Structures are given as structure tokens and as C-alpha cells.
Structure 1
Amino acid sequence: MDKMIAYCGIICTECPAFLATQKDDDEERKKVAEMWSKEFNSDIRLEDINCGGCLEDEGLLFNYCRECPIRKCGKEKGVLNCAYCDDYACEELNKFLEGVPDAKRTLEEIRKSL
């Protein structure tokens, strides 16, 4: 499977929600829901863990991703991900990347190759 990179730099194809969806594995979904419920102090249910990746226009998408301002902006600008944006790295993206250094590294690597 090719690597799918979200607008924010997260690698969708390595995300536990994406992987559980691809395997159609309810045990994995349950583990992810429990892990994220604790990590994000939120009530995430097994049935919430269904995602075909951030780049999906319709279909399966994790609830937060559906509302994500970074995803919305990237879709509006028609970029593959934020590394391709003329406004890289905007305030919204920088706030997000503070907590997700792997995503920042991914976007920086892409920027170097442009």
C-alpha cells in the first residue's frame, strides 16, 4: 500500500484507526477507542474508529478528521498536503505540529524535495 499523507503530515496509512478499518478488525477498533479516549480525555467508541484516510472526500472518516480545520483548509486550497502550501507553515498548522513532531518531520522532508 502506498503511503497516504494527511494535509497535516500525519501518515494516514500508519494511523491505528486507518489500519483497524483496513483490516475490518473490531478488536483493534476497541483498543484504539480505549487508547484515544484516555489520551484525548474523550468518549470515543468502537464505532467511531472507521477511517479511509484524511484525503477521502466522502466515505469513512474519523469524526475529528471530518471537522479538522487543517484538512478543510488544504482541501479548499487544493494542495496535496500542507508542505505544498504557499502559506507553510501557518499558525494553525504550527499549533498542531507542536504536539506531533513526526508529522512536522514528514512535511519538512516533503518541503526539501520541492
Structure 2
Amino acid sequence: MEELGFCGIDCTVCPAYQATIRNDAAMREKTAAEWTKMFGNDFEMEDIVCYGCQEREKPVFGYCDKCRVRLCALERGVLTCAECSDYVCEKLAEFYEQVPQEKARMDKRHEVFLRSQRPG
């Protein structure tokens, strides 16, 4: 099952998403420790809860509430950024500098979207 963030991140491979879906406390603890070292922020096990950034009813990871890409996509009402008329915008370009593999996935989705918009 494909579960994409607005930016193209594959949620199904994210440890926060996996720990949440599986209700796996050990995975939450491990992810909190790894992310504390990796990102230089203090993460607690309770912070590692996320049902994917497209979720509107259930909890999402804390950063999702501040993510400029997510906030923009919600405001514009697009399924993913690939369906946006401003693809690739400045916010997304900055993000893709860090994770270029996600851009490749979204470029493909954007091409499919453009073809679907052509008449005939």
C-alpha cells in the first residue's frame, strides 16, 4: 500500500509511522534515541507517533504541524505536491536538496498528473 506524504516521502518506510501503525513501544524508544543523535533534538518515546502527514484526524509527528510543504498542500487542497500548479516550488526545492530521491518519485507523479490534464 502506498502512503505518501504531500512531498513524496514514503511513510511506510518511516520508523515513526511503522512504530505507530504497529503500536510498537520498543521501536518508538529506539527511533527516539536514534533521532535524538541524528537531529540534535531531544526526542522522547511519546514524540514518535505519526499516522502520516496527510492524516487530518489522528496524530502526526510534531514537525508536521510546522512543515511549510504540508501546510501549503493542505491550504491548496492537493493530494500531493505533484498535483500542484506550482510544482516544484521554493519550499519543495529546499526539501529536495536534502532528499533528492523523493524528488525523482514526485517528478514521475507530476508527469502522470500533467498527462491526465491534457484534453483528449
Per the TM superposition, whether the score is higher than 0.5 is: yes
* Structure 2 stretches lacking a partner, 5+ long: 114-120
1:41 positional shift: 0.9
**Structure 2 Cα separation of the partners of residues 103 and 33 of structure 1:** 23
Tell me what 1:84 maps to.
83
Is the counterpart of residue 33 in structure 1 residue 28 in structure 2? Answer: no
**Structure 2 Cα separation of the partners of residues 88 and 39 of structure 1:** 29
SS in 1 for 2:98: coil
SS in 2 for 1:51: coil
Tell me what 1:21 maps to.
20
Amino acid paired to 2:24: D
SS in 2 for 1:98: helix
Runs (4+) off by over 3 Å: none
**Structure 2 Cα separation of the partners of residues 37 and 97 of structure 1:** 22
Q: TM-score, normalised by structure 1?
A: 0.94
Amino acid paired to 2:19: A
Is the CA contact (8 Å cut-off) linking 1:16 and 1:32 kept in structure 2? Answer: yes
**Structure 1 Cα separation of the partners of residues 57 and 72 of structure 2:** 16
SS in 2 for 1:92: helix
Q: Which has the higher contact order (CA 8 A, sep 6+)?
A: 1
* Structure 1 stretches lacking a partner, 5+ long: none
Tell me what 2:108 maps to.
109
Is the CA contact (8 Å cut-off) linking 1:8 and 1:71 kept in structure 2? Answer: yes
Larger Rg: 2
Q: CA RMSD in A?
A: 1.0
1:58 positional shift: 2.3
Tell me what 2:51 maps to.
52
1:80 positional shift: 0.6
**Structure 1 Cα separation of the partners of residues 110 and 25 of structure 2:** 37
